[in-house]
Chains A and B, each alone.
Chain A
Amino acid sequence: MRLQDLLDTYGQPELIEQLRRLQPADYDEFVDQLQKDLLYVIDLIEGDAKDFHDASEDELNREVVRLLRARSYTASHDHDEGGHVDIHVRSRDGRFSWLAEAKLDKGPAYLTSGVHQLSDRYARGTQDHNHGALIVYIQKNRCTERFATWRKHFSQLTADFEGLEVADCAFRQTLAFKSRYVLQRMGAAGPKYQVLHLAVSAFRPAGVAA
């Protein structure tokens, strides 16, 4: 079989992305590609929001994992990582990992517990394992305002998260932001743990049939 058959099938840009997923050169590349793919996965879920407006966290997490697996990731739900983390992704060669806690938007206190779970129980925080995400499923209207409330609340948790820094995200505008803080397990001399906060709008307006 010729290489051209693969290029005909996928096109060069998609084949390059597939190869990047299969063997990323380094952790930054792994995380960059994963975050890009995660945005695509979220886009798919939001496109089918009517199917997810009353879905449970587990159902939504399983869908995220299913869609990531379809893009060649080694992804699992409820993976045992010193407890059962919601979404665990590792590179196919096992060198790199990324974790996410994913919560329905039940208010800032509930979401804060998700970040604590991620940071205090699951995250290793060592090199090549120091990125994660908090995915917030919003099944109500006014998604951006709700997420802005979360960002404002989280930004003030400097007593909970040492050295906390919060920054805008280049993608998803008002529906994502980045944070970095010292992981207690690692201490201040270690790399800060980096958490991408992502809102997923799974709201079905009244009158739209499921």
Chain B
Amino acid sequence: MAKLGPQLHAVSLVTVADALGWGNDKDLRKAIVRALDQLTFGESSLLERHFLLWPGDQSSEVLEEPLAQISNLEMRRALETNQLVVNETGETVQDFLSRISVEYVVRNDVREQLRAHQVKQS
């Protein structure tokens, strides 16, 4: 992590998988997910995991911001039921879930430590 530098903010599965040359292998992608979760929920927690909800129509516009961040509790309820789905839109649970992305973000305190480490070295 220190090598990635203080500019590091978010870690995506794609960037890690590409860096390791594992991008297209489903089993290796799963291994990366587990590794990222270990870095998130393990004893030495470096990351936070966020669920982000994006607009439904992404066909032509460049997306800048997700619509909302979904909590773990809301995410679970969405997986268990259709509570989060707005019935008026006719959106199915699967449609809704397909609009959610997962982002791993370096924790603020870790980023500060990396920055301090960088300053100390320079």
Interface: B117 (CB within 8 A): no
Q: Apart from A5-B102, A8-B29, A9-B34, what are 9 other A-B pairs with CB-CB below 8 Å?
A: A1-B14, A1-B33, A2-B100, A2-B101, A2-B102, A9-B30, A19-B72, A22-B72, A69-B42
Jot down 8 A-B pairs with beta carbons below 8 A, ordered by A.
A3-B51, A6-B102, A9-B29, A19-B73, A19-B76, A20-B76, A23-B76, A69-B43
Contact A23 B73 (CB under 8 A): yes
Chain A residues near B13: list those with CB within 8 A.
Answer: 1, 5
Contact A1 B41 (CB under 8 A): no
In whole angstroms, what is the CA distance A29 to B51 when docked?
A: 22
Closest-by-CB residue of A relative to B11 is A1
Contact A5 B33 (CB under 8 A): yes
Q: Is the interface of A mostly helix, strand, loop or mixed?
A: helix
Chain B residues near A8: list those with CB within 8 A.
Answer: 26, 29-30, 33
Chain B: number of interface residues, binned into ranges: 20 to 34
Interface: A167 (CB within 8 A): no
Interface: B8 (CB within 8 A): no
Interface: A189 (CB within 8 A): no
Which of A3, A4, A15, A72 has the most chain B CB atoms inside 10 A of its CB?
A: A3
Q: Which residues of A contact B (CB under 8 A)?
A: 1-6, 8-9, 12, 15-16, 19-20, 22-23, 25, 69, 72
Chain B residues near A69: list those with CB within 8 A.
Answer: 42-43
Contact B33 A23 (CB under 8 A): no
Interface: B75 (CB within 8 A): yes
Smallest distance from the beta carbon of A16 to chain B beta carbons, Å? 5
